[in-house]
Amino acid sequence: MTTREAPNPFRVRVAEETLDDLRARLARTRWPDEAPRAGWAHGAELEFVQRLVEHWRLRFDWPAREAKVNSLEQFLVRLDDLDLHFVHAPRRAPDPLPLLLLHGWPGSFFDFHEIVPRLTDPERYGGHSVDAASVVAVSLPGFTFSYAPGQRRLDVAEMADVCARLMIDILGYPHFVVHGEDLGAYVAARLAFDHPEAVLGVHLGLLPLRPGVTGQSDDSPEHRAYDEELRRWKREESGYSTIQGTKPQTLAFALTDSPAGLAAWIVEKLHTWTDNDGDLERALDLETVLTNVTLYWVTGAINSSFWLYYAIRHDPWPLPNFLATPTAYASFPRDTRHPPRSVAERAFAIRHWTEMPRGGHFAALEVPELLAGDIAAFRRTLGSRSPGISADSPLSAG
């Protein structure tokens, strides 16, 4: 039976006692030492994390950040035994193709706060009204406000099914485009594979390629560079995914109890994966960094946010050998990996490929104007197949 439950409006409200407890824990942080002149070579730099924690405890303006989070129109809807949190920014003019945004780890729905208005109201940013879209940004199950203690964990296919039910059954969008980054890219690709009649295009900020997809021997310079990039990734950068994919519960004790530990675990990824010339604050200001860290802290969702790493490692590969849905890929110079187009085309029906001039793994936060522009350009190539909000959608009135 198709679910037609109406979503309930949602606003973020963090109790003052939760914030008081956070500040008290930060004040009692027991600091590790650091190898001499280590910098970021061994993980999060001690001096930076100490400065970040001091800012979080004494100067971080949560009321202002909470208001910024709440500038996004948010909802909760009950789907079976899960409460799904999402942002919905409808465009009530004729709408060529609605857009679903899927975040990754250690991100959240807040990653998209800068690109949602660029996509719904492009004229405000110097764009064209024809590119305007209704936008939905989901908190993946197990992340921030799509989390409750002890709830069942979902794999990639199950998350894709939840997203399909939201878009088609709850919001009444029979056709749409999906953008995914990091883990969200896996869910986006599976969503397109399972629902080809609904997903008309997939825009990716990461290409989820099956291990070994490079396939036949290719001694071209771009393939050699990619193979070396993968070797370096496995050797130097894969520790976090190994522990999150094998023993996530053990790590969760530390990160759920220590806000300083949580901040260090997340900020090391932000430092490594952004386009920052060695200084994270060139890419992301501390208030933005701490907004996402705070969302993880106040919801207690860090453990469940690890689950897709475990599922992808232990379950059969969740994606098809080849996805026939028209696919776009935006390659940012400081992202984690850069597969050649010839490799990508072995797994995806690539229709749009952009080599970006700047930006890293967290493009929606780092360079929202570039990402929004590329998504709009891809949507333009797909034409118009959807009239916007259907007449029987619970959100069609008002």
Active site residues: 182, 309, 361
Closest CA to 211 of 196, 231, 192, 197: 231
Give the β-pairing of 74-79 and 82-89: antiparallel
The residues, any chain, with a CB within 8 Å of residue 299's CB and separated by 6 or more, are: 144, 145, 147
| 116, 137 Cβ separation under 8 angstroms | yes
| 108, 139 Cβ separation under 8 angstroms | yes
The residues, any chain, with a CB within 8 Å of residue 367's CB and separated by 6 or more, are: 275, 332, 356, 358, 359
| 275, 283 Cβ separation under 8 angstroms | yes
| Residues forming beta bridges with residue 349, ordered by sequence position | 326
Describe the strand order of the beta sheet including 82-89 as a list of residue ranges.
Answer: 8-10, 74-79, 82-89, 135-138, 99-102, 176-180, 199-204, 323-331, 348-355
SS3 label, residue 66? helix
